[in-house]
Amino acid sequence: MKKIDGLIAAAFAAYNPDGSVNLALIPAIVDQLLEQGMKGVFVCGTNGEGPSLSVEERMQIAEAYMKAAEGRLLVFIHVGHSAINEARRLAAHAQQIGADYISAVSAFYFKPSSVQVLVESMAEIASAAPNTPFYYYHIPHVTGLQIDMLEFLSLAEEAIPNFAGVKYTASTIHEYQSCLHYKDGKFDILFGYDELLLPALAVGAKGAIGSTYNYAGKLYNQVIAHVAENKWEEAEKLHFEAVRMVGLLVKYGPIPTQRALMKVAGLDLGEPRLPLRSLSAESSSKLDQDLEKLQFMQLVARL
């Protein structure tokens, strides 16, 4: 299987005023991703509020992205669910509609008791879509699963015939590098921490999946271009602008802040579902002031 080279945007959920899923906005989201230079889209993951959506809604969103992408973007469908049978339904549906890849996070309420059990769980899900490449979604700060990823790779390659790689959303760059080198780079290890993209590139990353790529993709693509040209000083300076912006996500809350940034970028995604909330009027005003100081969105617009 060919490895992914470039950036995949983890799409945000969009809602109508009545709280229903806004499928009509998805073509505009896809067009904006293409304009940002994205290679693909990751659907119904953390930023897409997958855990807050019904299975039927997730299927509708997946279908809408497949239709809107029309082969212009790679489409990852996140099929993880706390109930494995529901995850299998989502996986089978993703294969039916022609998704390029599927991915699943571990169950995070009743957690696997070992790496072996985690692999067995992922194998059950992946087997429902045997002809579609499967990526494990490693995000320990959400799932609470601190596991040895090299052990996971060793077990997964035997248990999951369509295992293609990992969406590695963790700050442990040394382990990420080890995964890249596992069996001479046998698997595709996509990096998932946007603010650490430059260090990941330094140890060999080629592909990445992230949320801030939705509205700042041009900046990150320029960082990648600088690295390719061995212009590390320029890459570091530009990457630091992204690091400063990510500081605002920490300050005000990752998903609410980024939904506000998407509105600044021209796409109003509506109100998120509980337990998420949009920024308060006070926080929105302070965010606007901080953004003005950073001039981040203006920088992205000039690229």
Q: What is the CA radius of gyration of the chain?
A: 18
Please pick, among 39, 167, 213, 252, the residue that the annotation labels catalytic: 167
CA 96 → CA 57, 63, 90, 91, 125, distances in Å?
Answer: 16, 10, 10, 9, 15
pLDDT for the residue numbered 94: 98
Residue ranges for the known binding site are 209
Residue ranges for the known binding site for pyruvate are 209
Question: What total of structural domains would you count in the chain?
Answer: 1
Q: Is residue 301 part of a domain?
A: no
Q: What is the CATH number of the domain that holds 75?
A: 3.20.20.70
pLDDT for the residue numbered 127: 98
CA distance linking residue 278 with residue 164, whole number of Å = 36
pLDDT tens for 146-186 read 999 999 999 999 999 999 999 999 999 999 999 999 999 99
Question: Is 0.85 topped by the overall pTM?
Answer: yes
Q: Is residue 261 part of a domain?
A: no
Q: Is residue 272 part of a domain?
A: no
Question: Looking at residues 28-44, what average pLDDT do you find?
Answer: 98
Residue 46 near residue 77, CB atoms below 8 Å? no
pLDDT, averaged across the chain: 97
Q: Which of 91, 86, 128, 93 is nearest to 107 (CA)?
A: 86
Please enumerate, as own/partner, the contacts of 199-206 that have beta carbons within 8 Å and a separation of 24 or more: 199/173, 200/173, 200/176, 201/227, 201/235, 202/227, 203/173, 203/176, 203/177, 204/177, 204/180, 205/176, 205/180, 206/3, 206/4, 206/5, 206/6
**Residue 256 pLDDT > 80, yes or no?**
yes
pLDDT for the residue numbered 1: 73
Confidence band, pLDDT 50/70/90 cuts, at residue 53: very high
In the annotation, is 137 catalytic? Answer: yes
Q: Is residue 275 part of a domain?
A: no
**Does residue 105 sit in helix, strand or coil?**
strand
CA distance linking residue 238 with residue 76, whole number of Å = 28
Report percent pLDDT > 90 for the chain: 99
Q: Is residue 244 part of a domain?
A: no
Q: Is residue 296 part of a domain?
A: no
Question: Looking at residues 27-41, what average pLDDT do you find?
Answer: 98
CA distance linking residue 274 with residue 241, whole number of Å = 31
What are the φ/ψ torsions at residue 166 (nearest 5 degrees)? -135, 140
Strands (E), 184-272: 188-191, 207-210
Q: Is residue 289 part of a domain?
A: no
Residue 163 near residue 174, CB atoms below 8 Å? no
**With 0-12 CB in 10 A as exposed, 13-18 as middle and 19+ as buried, what is 26?**
buried
pLDDT for the residue numbered 75: 98
Q: What is the DSSP letter of 16?
A: -
Please pick, among 137, 168, 176, 252, the residue that the annotation labels catalytic: 137
CA distance linking residue 244 with residue 247, whole number of Å = 5
pLDDT for the residue numbered 246: 97
pLDDT tens for 99-148 read 999 999 999 899 999 999 999 999 999 999 999 999 999 999 999 999 99
Look up the domain containing 213 and give its range: 6-227
Q: Is residue 250 part of a domain?
A: no
CA distance linking residue 18 with residue 254, whole number of Å = 24
